[in-house]
């Protein structure tokens, strides 16, 4: 499976149920307005652009909004722009209702803009691309975005699987580009993978660490490589659990209990595979198999279940039976 074909593979960690942490704490007091290209760890960029106002884009914009940034979402057409605007306004209102920000709603709304005009991104100190997972689309968008940005602005992609070096191919300032892999749902997911391409500058990695902390999340720094850190490790554990089930080592319940009680996993690897979707996990395993080798070979049981339509919670049957 090529990286471009990964477009159809949703993110492995789309598991809202696992989200245990409340919305990003507002750090407005620390987010003093900085120069566009500040690498200070003490402030998020004052103007943050987000390209693609879908599920992830709205969440990312919301996180920077609460941290004090002026946010601008670029969407492809007026209808999508309206949806993004409504989604972000709703998220802002909920943050006020839940007291996860000390600002009032009008102050937050005043810092939200949505546009279909790419050139409007030109004033951004940081732009995060969050369009669908399609290599050609992302390369094309990143090239166009870079062309309107100031030379000292930063650019990032929220890709969940594509190589940062491939996305960098046509950029003229690749040292100012990295992956910022947020998880879904953004408000309650506290991990962000900073993915360094081979040309990403140390200054950007350092700045990104600071931004991630400023929006109330925890950064990890990962070299550009298939599956980054999260999918690579999560999937290999799941595949071994499936092979153990095939080998009759223990029941699905007991394999999961081994990890929950023995290793303090929040949920077992088979339960998690049911939540993510067996088809999704199979797609990612095939990709990692093709790039990282035999240890990611999908077990026959996983293929059989996917072929039988047993995709996990979404179909009512996976490694466990789901009643709703």
Ligand X SMILES: NC(=O)c1ccc[n+]([C@@H]2O[C@H](COP(=O)([O-])OP(=O)(O)OC[C@H]3O[C@@H](n4cnc5c(N)ncnc54)[C@H](O)[C@@H]3O)[C@@H](O)[C@H]2O)c1
- Part of the chain binding ligand X (CB under 6 A), chosen from 6-14, 210-218, 240-248, 302-310: 6-14
Does residue number 141 form part of the binding site for ligand X (CB under 6 A)?
yes
Which of 34, 46, 50, 52 is in the footprint of ligand X by CB under 6 A?
Answer: 52
For the chain, how far is it from start to end, CA to CA, in angstroms?
Answer: 32
Which of 76, 93, 223, 295 is in the footprint of ligand X by CB under 6 A?
Answer: 76
Which of 23, 39, 43, 57 is in the footprint of ligand X by CB under 6 A?
Answer: 57
Cα four-point dihedral sign 41, 43, 45, 48? positive
Distance from C-alpha of 230 to C-alpha of 66, rounded to nearest angstrom = 26
Distance from C-alpha of 246 to C-alpha of 252, rounded to nearest angstrom = 10
Does residue number 80 form part of the binding site for ligand X (CB under 6 A)?
yes
Distance from C-alpha of 166 to C-alpha of 198, rounded to nearest angstrom = 10
Does residue number 159 form part of the binding site for ligand X (CB under 6 A)?
yes
Judge contact between 295 and 20, C-beta under 8 A. Answer: no
- Part of the chain binding ligand X (CB under 6 A), chosen from 72-80, 224-232, 258-266, 269-277: 72-80
- Part of the chain binding ligand X (CB under 6 A), chosen from 103-111, 177-185, 239-247, 277-285: 177-185
Q: How far is the CB of 18 from ligand X (least distance, A)?
A: 12
Nearer to ligand X, 34 or 189 (CB): 189
Q: What are phi and psi of 269, to 5 degrees?
A: -65, -30
Does residue number 4 form part of the binding site for ligand X (CB under 6 A)?
no
Does residue number 127 form part of the binding site for ligand X (CB under 6 A)?
no
What is the Cα Rg of the chain in Å? 20
Which of 44, 131, 245, 276 is in the footprint of ligand X by CB under 6 A?
Answer: 131
Burial class (CB in 10 A: 0-12, 13-18, 19+), 44: buried
Does residue number 139 form part of the binding site for ligand X (CB under 6 A)?
no
Nearer to ligand X, 103 or 193 (CB): 193
Both tokens assigned to 75: 């969407």
Does residue number 91 form part of the binding site for ligand X (CB under 6 A)?
no
Does residue number 46 form part of the binding site for ligand X (CB under 6 A)?
no
Q: How far is the CB of 32 from ligand X (least distance, A)?
A: 29
Q: How far is the CB of 59 from ligand X (least distance, A)?
A: 8
- CB atoms near residue 132 (< 10 Å): 11
Does residue number 282 form part of the binding site for ligand X (CB under 6 A)?
no
Continuous H helices in 54-126: 55-66, 78-97, 105-109
Q: Which of 225, 45, 186, 21 is nearest to 124 (CA)?
A: 45
**Which residues form the interface with ligand X (CB under 6 A)?**
10-11, 14, 51-57, 74-76, 80, 130-133, 141, 158-160, 182-184
């Amino acid at each position: 499976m090529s990286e471009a074909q990964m477009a159809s593979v949703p993110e492995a960690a789309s598991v809202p149920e696992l989200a245990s942490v409340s919305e990003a704490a507002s750090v407005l007091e620390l987010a003093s307005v900085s120069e566009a290209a500040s690498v200070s760890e003490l402030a998020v960029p004052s103007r943050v652009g987000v390209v693609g106002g879908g599920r992830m884009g709205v969440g990312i914009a919301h996180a920077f909004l609460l941290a004090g940034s002026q946010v601008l979402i670029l969407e492809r057409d007026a209808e999508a722009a309206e949806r993004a605007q409504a989604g972000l306004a709703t998220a802002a209102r909920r943050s006020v209702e839940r007291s996860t920000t000390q600002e009032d709603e009008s102050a937050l709304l005043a810092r939200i803009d949505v546009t279909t005009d790419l050139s409007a991104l030109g004033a951004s100190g940081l732009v995060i691309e969050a369009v669908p997972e399609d290599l050609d689309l992302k390369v094309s968008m990143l090239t166009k975005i870079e062309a309107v940005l100031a030379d000292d602005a930063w650019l990032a992609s929220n890709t969940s699987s594509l190589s940062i070096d491939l996305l960098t191919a046509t950029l003229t300032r690749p040292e100012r580009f990295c992956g910022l892999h947020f998880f879904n749902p953004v408000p309650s997911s506290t991990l962000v993978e900073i993915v360094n391409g081979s040309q990403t500058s140390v200054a950007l990695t350092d700045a990104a660490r600071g931004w991630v902390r400023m929006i109330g999340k925890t950064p990890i720094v990962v070299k550009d490589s298939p599956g980054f850190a999260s999918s690579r490790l999560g999937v290999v554990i799941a595949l071994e659990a499936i092979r153990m089930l095939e080998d009759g080592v223990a029941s699905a319940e007991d394999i999961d209990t081994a990890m929950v009680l023995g290793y303090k996993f929040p949920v077992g690897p088979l339960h998690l595979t049911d939540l993510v979707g067996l088809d999704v996990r199979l797609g990612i395993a095939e990709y990692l198999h093709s790039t990282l080798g035999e240890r990611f070979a999908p077990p026959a049981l996983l293929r059989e279940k996917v072929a039988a339509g047993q995709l996990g919670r979404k179909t009512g049957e996976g490694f466990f039976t789901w009643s709703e």
